[in-house]
Amino acid sequence: MSQPSTLSLQTLLGLFNPQGLYLIGYSWLFGMTLWVTFIGGTIAFKSLPRQQFGALQHRTFPIYFTISIALSAGLLGLWTYSHPAVLTHYLEPQVADVAQAYALAAVLISQLANQAVIGPLTSKTMFQRHRQEKEEGKAYNEPGVSDQMKALNSRFGMLHGVSSLFNMTAFLTLLFHGLWIGNMGTGIKNF
């Protein structure tokens, strides 16, 4: 029978190492992405009037994307540092370590695109649609809206769809990465 581990100040401080920080960072990123994608947004959508929901998303998403970018960049950096095969085989996605780096890069790129391009365009279109609703005295989805409103609806739908696709890409690649590190470990080296 093995001896039970004992806790000391030294063992507690030893928990703060690159592997532990990697797991905390991954957990934070995955949990946040899961919450924003499937839970928090759904609750807000069902609970708030449409324009308040849009205003909430407009305020929340930039923070979410910024944290996602920072965490995914940090994870990618740690992964690449600890897995030299990533740099020597970077054009070979069948190499497991490279595939994991690609997954983290996909999160980074999709959230960067959402933060820098898609998100601002979506918000701008949403606010234009709100103004158009006031001018027409009709909701965006009522019969008889103007051609301008129809164009705004189409643009908003397209942008929202692209943003959702990028966010789903981030979620699915994080799920893949989590399953990988859960089964194979992180392989993160101490400095």
Angle between helix 50-82 and helix 18-34 axes, rounded to 10 deg: 150
Low-confidence ranges of the chain (pLDDT < 50): none
pTM to 2 decimal places: 0.93
Q: What is the pLDDT of residue 191?
A: 80
Q: What is the pLDDT of residue 2?
A: 85
Q: What is the pLDDT of residue 58?
A: 96
Give the C-alpha distances (Å, rounded to integers) separating 13 from 10, 17, 45, 121.
5, 9, 42, 45
Half-sphere exposure of 98 (CA within 13 A, CB side): 11
**Residues in contact with 38: Cβ distance below 8 Å, sequence separation at least 6, in sequence order:** none
**Residues in contact with 155: Cβ distance below 8 Å, sequence separation at least 6, in sequence order:** 125
First to last CA, the chain: 33
Helices H / strands E in the chain, number of each: 8, 0
